[in-house]
Chains A and B, each alone.
Chain A
Amino acid sequence: MAIALALGVQLVQLTLILALAPLLTGFVRKLKAQLVGRQGPPLLQPYRELVRLLRKDVVLAESASWLFRAAPYLIFATTWVAASLVPTFATGLAFGYAADVIAIVALLGAARFMLALAGLDVGTSFGGIGASREMMIASLAEPAMLMVVFTLSLLAGSTQLSYIAAALQAPEVGLRVSLALALVALIMVALAENARMPVDNPATHLELTMVHEAMILEYSGRHLALIETASYLKLLLYVSLIACVFFPWGIAGPSQGATTYLAGAGVYVAKLGAAGFALAVFETAIAKMRVFRVSDFLGAALMLGLLAALLLFVTQAT
C-alpha cells in the first residue's frame, strides 16, 4: 500500500511539474511586462508556443548529425527525471532513493553536456560561442552548487533531499549563518544556470550577448519545443529545490491523507508564485553584466558556498 502510494505521488509529481513548468515561465514573463508598464503576453502563451512548435516541421541544417537530432530528447528526459526527484508538494517519492542531490546536480550537468555538444554540432560560430560560454559558466556554477549541497547535507546529515527537507524543518536547526550564505549562493547559481539576468538575458534578440539562446539557434520545430520545455523544467527544478530546502513548510510527508497532499500542492503553488514574483522584480531591477564579469559573480557564489561549508566543518561537534 505504501509503495503504491509512493508510486502515485511520483506519477502525480511527474505530470504536475510538466504541467506547471510553462506556467511559471509565463507568469514571470507576464509580471516582468507589467512591472515595466506593458500589457505582456497572456499567462498561457508558453503552452501555445509549445503546441505551435510541436506541429511545425523540423528544419535541419545540412551539416547536422544524428547527435543534433537525438540531443533534444535526451536533454528533455534528463531534466524531467531530475526535476521529478526534487520533492515539490510531498516528500515520499517512489524513486527518490535513486538519486540524491549530488546526482541531481550531475543529471543537470549531463543535460548541459548534451546541449553544448548540440551547439557545436552544426559548425556555426554562434553555436560555438554559446557552448563555450555555457561551459565556462557551468565550470564555476557547478562547484558553487556542490558547495551549497555540502552545507545542506552536513546540516542534515544526508544528501537525500527528502531527509534534508525533514531535517531542516526541525526547530533545532534554527537560523544559521551557513544557511544564509548557502541560500545566497544557491540563488546566484540558479540565476546563472537558468540563463536569467544578470548572467544572461532570456528575452534578448541580440545574438552576441546570448549564451543559452546562441546554443539553440539552429533548433526548430519539435526539437526546439523539447529544449524549451527542458529549460522551463529547469527553472521549476531550481525553484522547487530552493523551496524544498530553505522553505520546507507545508510539504506533505510520506503516507499521508488526501487533504494533506492537496494542502501541500496548494502551498507549493503559492511558493512558485512567490518565487516567480521575486524573480520578476529582481530581473526588472537589475541590468545584465558583461560576459567576463560573470566569472566574478559566480566566483563570489563559489566563495560563499565554500565559506558556508567551512563554517559547518569547523563548528560541527565531533
Chain B
Amino acid sequence: MLAGLLTCTALLLAASVAAIGLAQRREATTAIYGIALIATVVALALALGALLAGARVPATLALPIGLPWLGAHFRLDALSAFFLVVANLGGASASLYGLGYGRHEEAPARVLPFFPAFLAAMNLVLLADDAFTFLFSWEFMSLASWALVMAHHRRAGNAAAGYLYLLMASFGTLALILAFGLLAGWSGAYDFAAIRTAAPSALMGAAVLVLALAGAGSKAGLVPLHVWLPLAHPAAPSHVSALMSGVMTKVAVYGFVRVVFDLVGAPLWWWGALVALVGGITAVMGVLHALMEHDLKRLLAYHTVENIGIIFIGLGLALAFSANEMPAAAALALTAALFHVFNHSVFKSLLFFGAGAVLTATGERDMERLGGLIQRMPQTAFLFLVGSAAISALPPFNGFVSEWLTFQAILLSPALPQWLLKFLVPAIGALLALSAALAAACFVKAFGVTFLGRARSAVAREAVETDRWSLAAMFMLAALCLVAGVLPAWFIDALAPVAQTLAGSHLPERHGLDWLTIVPIAQSRSSYNGLLLFLLIALAAGLAAVAIHRFASNRLRRSPAWDCGFPDPSPATQYTAGSFSQPIRRVFGTVVFRAREEVHMPAPGATQSARLQVQLRDLLWDTLYVPTARVVGFAADRLNAVQFLTIRAYLTLVFSALVALLAVLAIWQ
C-alpha cells in the first residue's frame, strides 16, 4: 500500500512537470485535473484500506534518494493513514471541482503546474519517516502553495499576502528544524525510528513542544501566528483556498501530533494546559475576526483559524489526560480532535467551493455587493447552507458531533489532579461554547447576506448557477457532512487504531443493538444518536406539512413585502454584513478590536449625506508584528554598514568571529 501511495505521489509530480509544457493548451486543464483526480482517488482508496485494516503493523520503505547517508524513509501507520484519507479526500474533491472551476481561470499556466505538486507535497509530508524528508516535503508544500497564492499576483493585496506568507512559512520551518535538531540530539539520528527510541530530558521535551507548537502552529494558524492565513488563503484560486484551509492546515496538525504525541515521548501535564489554552484563545479570536469581516473568502479563512483552535483544545486535553495516565479520557479527547480534523476539512472545502462558485458567477467576494443569490443559484445556495449548518455545529450535521465529543472530554477533566488544569479547563470550555455560538451568528451573516434578501448589485442580480463539475464536488462533500453527522459511529470506529497507538486506548467500539448510538464513556454518562434525531426531525416536519396542507390551508398569495407598511424598493435598506455584526461589534469589539464608531450627521437642512465610520484595530498586529518589523528594519539598516567595509576590517571581523567560536567551543567542552 505504501508503494502504491508513493506511486500516486510520483504520478502527481509527473503531472506537475508535464503541466509546465502543456499549460498553454486548452485541454491541459481537463487533463491535469483529471490526472490529479485519478491519483488522489486511488491514494484515498489505499489510505482508507490501510486505516480500516487497522494499519497496526506499520509499513516502512527506504528509497536511496535525498541525503546520501540517510536516504528517504517512508512509513504508513494508522496516524498517517488517517491524515492521508483527509488529504486525498480534499485533493480529490478539489480536483473534481477544478475540472469545472479551472475553465474560468485567466492564467492557467500559473496554477496548473503547482496544483498537483502541492497535492504531492502534502502526501509526502504525511508519509515521511525521517526529519530530512519531512522538512524537505514541508518546505516543498509551503513553496508550492506560495506559488498558488501568487497566481494572481497583480491583484491588489495578493503580493503583500504572498510576502507575509513566505516570511511566516520560513519562520515555521525554522522552528521545526530546531525541534528536529533537538530531537535528533548529538548523535544526529534523523530517522523517526531512532528519534522515537531516544528519551529526551524534560527541558528538551519542553523546548521541542514549544518549537513544534510554533512551527506547526504557524502553518495551522494558531494565534498569534495566524496573521498570514486570512490574507494568503483567500488570495489563491478557490479550489486551492479549499485545499489550503481544508487540508494544508490539517497537515500542520499532523506535524504537531507526530512530533508531540509520537516522537517526543511521555508528555508532562502542563503541555496540555498550554496547548489547550492556545487553542481556546485561537478559537474565540478567529471567530471574532470572522464576524468583523465582509469579504466572503476571508471570513471563511478566519473560521479556519477558529476550527484549528477547537482541534488544539482537543489535542491539549488529550495531552493532559495522557500525562495523568487516563488513557480512556485521552482517547476521547484525541478522537474528538481528529474527528474534527476530518469534519473541518469536509465542510471548509465545501464552503470555499461555494464561495468560488459565487466568485465565478459574480466576480465579487465582498458580501456587501451580493445578496439574493438563492434565487439565481439555488443549488449552490442549498449546498452552502449545509456547509454553514455543519460548521456552526448544528445537529444533525458532522460539526456538532466532534464538538459534542470535545465537550464530553472537558466534562471528564475534574478528575485531573493539577489545580491549574482545574481552573483552566472550565474556562476553556466557556471559550469553546462562546466560539460555537459566535460561529452560528457569523454563518447566519455569511449565508444570509450573500444568498438571502435582495440583490445589492447588478452582478448579483444576473448571476447564473455554476457548472456541473463544481456542483458534483459540492454535493459529494455536503452528503459527507450529513453522513458523518447521522452515522458518526462508523467514523469514530475508523479512528480507533489511531487513538489506540497514540493514547493507548480507544472509544468503545459499537456492535450489537445500539450500534448507531455513540457512547464515549458509558450509557449512563452520555449518548448521542444523530440518525434518530435526523429521522425524528424529518418525520415531525413531514407530519406537520402533510397535516397542515391536508386539513388546514394550502393556499398562498404573493404580494410585496409588508415591512410594517413602509417597504422600500431600494436593496440598500436591507441589513448588510456590517450592520448585522454591529451588535456583536459593540459587545465584544470594543474590547478586542478597540472598535470606534464615528457618526457624522449633517446639520438639519444640509444636503450632504450622513456618514458612519467604523475603526477596528488588530491589537495583536500592532503590539507584536509592527514592533518586530521595526526592530528588524532597524537592525537591517545598521547592518547595512557592514557591506561597505575595507578588506582589513573584513579580515578582522572574520578572525574575531573564529576566535569567538573557538572560545565558545572550549567553554562548552
Contact = CB atoms under 8 A, between A and B. Distances in A.
A159 B152 CA distance: 51
A146 B539 CA distance: 28
A97 B529 CA distance: 7
Given A98-B533, A98-B536, A125-B573, A291 B385 contact: no
B567 A124 contact: yes
Contacts of B541: 73-74, 76-77
Contact of A139 (B437, B452, B548): B437
A154 B411 contact: yes
Contact of A123 (B429, B527, B571): B571
A125 B216 CA distance: 44
A222 B533 contact: no
Interface in B386-416: 389, 392-395, 400, 404, 407-408, 410-411, 413-416
A146 B433 contact: yes
A66 B453 contact: no
B623 to A, nearest CB: 25
A190 interface: no
Residue in B410, B414, B426, B567 whose Cβ sees the most chain A Cβ within 10 Å: B426
A221 B573 CA distance: 26
Quick one: which of A127, A217, A312 has the most chain B CB within 10 A?
A127
Given A56-B553, A98-B528, A131-B444, A314 B561 contact: no
Contacts of A141: 437
B524 interface: yes
Given A106-B395, A150-B411, A133 B583 contact: yes
A295 B587 contact: yes
Contacts of A153: 411, 526
A128 interface: yes
Interface in B545-587: 545, 548, 552-553, 555-564, 567-568, 571, 573-575, 579-584, 586-587
Contacts of B408: 159
Contact of A103 (B524, B528, B557): B528
A313 B413 contact: yes
A59 interface: yes
Given A57-B557, A120-B449, A125 B437 contact: no
A202 to B, nearest CB: 18
Interface stretch (B3-11, B35-43, B130-138, B372-380): B372-380
A310 B421 CA distance: 11
Interface stretch (A109-117, A169-177, A252-260, A275-283): A109-117
Q: Is the interface of A mostly helix, strand, loop or mixed?
A: helix
B663 to A, nearest CB: 52
Contact of B444 (A99, A120, A292): A120
B199 interface: no
B544 A73 contact: yes
Contacts of A65: 374-375, 381, 452
Interface in B30-65: none
B422 interface: yes
Interface in A71-96: 73-74, 76-78, 80-81, 95
A76 B527 CA distance: 24
A199 to B, nearest CB: 13
Contact of A121 (B394, B453, B580): B453
B434 to A, nearest CB: 4
Given A132-B583, A159-B525, A57 B556 contact: yes
A67 B574 CA distance: 18
Contacts of B419: 314
B440 A100 contact: no
A123 B417 contact: no
Contacts of A129: 575
Nearest to B583: A136
A55 B389 contact: no
Contact of B414 (A56, A138, A225, A316): A316
Contacts of A59: 557-559, 562
A131 B448 contact: yes
A73 B413 CA distance: 39
A81 B540 contact: yes
B202 interface: no
Interface in A204-221: 207, 217-218, 221
Nearest to A147: B430
B394 A124 contact: no
A218 B561 contact: yes
Contacts of B389: 110, 113
A113 B433 CA distance: 16
A77 B544 contact: yes
A131 to B, nearest CB: 6
Contacts of A295: 586-587
B197 interface: no
Query: Secondary structure at chain B's binding surface: helix, strand, loop or mixed?
Result: helix
Given A59-B559, A62-B560, A312-B414, A135 B444 contact: yes
B613 interface: no
Given A117-B448, A135-B440, A159 B526 contact: yes
A97 B523 contact: yes
Interface in B419-445: 419, 422-423, 425-427, 429-430, 433-434, 436-438, 440-441, 443-445
Interface residues of B, number: 93
Contacts of B544: 73, 76-77, 226
A55 B553 CA distance: 5
B586 A292 contact: yes
A130 to B, nearest CB: 9
A305 B427 CA distance: 11
B532 interface: yes
Contacts of A100: 526-528
Given A131-B448, A292-B586, A63 B437 contact: no
A313 B423 contact: yes
Given A100-B528, A121-B452, A159-B408, A132 B580 contact: yes
Nearest to A299: B587
A57 B440 CA distance: 32
A61 B529 CA distance: 38
Interface string B514-540: 100100000111111100110011111
Interface in A130-165: 131-133, 135-136, 138-143, 146-147, 150, 153-154, 157-160, 163
B348 to A, nearest CB: 18
Contacts of B375: 65
Nearest to A303: B430
A13 to B, nearest CB: 13
A312 B392 CA distance: 29
A291 B582 CA distance: 12
Contacts of B573: 124-125
Ranked 5 nearest A-B pairs via Cβ:
A128-B575, A123-B453, A120-B448, A77-B540, A77-B541
26 contacts: A57-B555, A59-B559, A63-B372, A65-B452, A67-B452, A74-B537, A74-B541, A77-B536, A97-B514, A99-B529, A107-B395, A121-B374, A124-B567, A125-B574, A128-B574, A131-B580, A132-B581, A135-B584, A136-B587, A139-B438, A146-B429, A158-B526, A160-B524, A225-B548, A312-B414, A318-B415
Interface of B: 371-372, 374-375, 378, 381, 385, 389, 392-395, 400, 404, 407-408, 410-411, 413-417, 419, 422-423, 425-427, 429-430, 433-434, 436-438, 440-441, 443-445, 447-449, 452-454, 514, 517, 523-529, 532-533, 536-541, 544-545, 548, 552-553, 555-564, 567-568, 571, 573-575, 579-584, 586-587
Interface of A: 54-67, 73-74, 76-78, 80-81, 95, 97-100, 102-103, 106-107, 109-110, 112-113, 116-117, 120-129, 131-133, 135-136, 138-143, 146-147, 150, 153-154, 157-160, 163, 207, 217-218, 221-222, 225-226, 291-292, 295, 302, 305-306, 309-310, 312-314, 316, 318
Given A55-B552, A125-B574, 18 more contacts: A57-B556, A61-B562, A76-B541, A80-B540, A81-B537, A97-B517, A97-B523, A98-B532, A102-B404, A106-B395, A113-B443, A123-B371, A126-B563, A126-B564, A132-B580, A160-B525, A218-B561, A313-B426
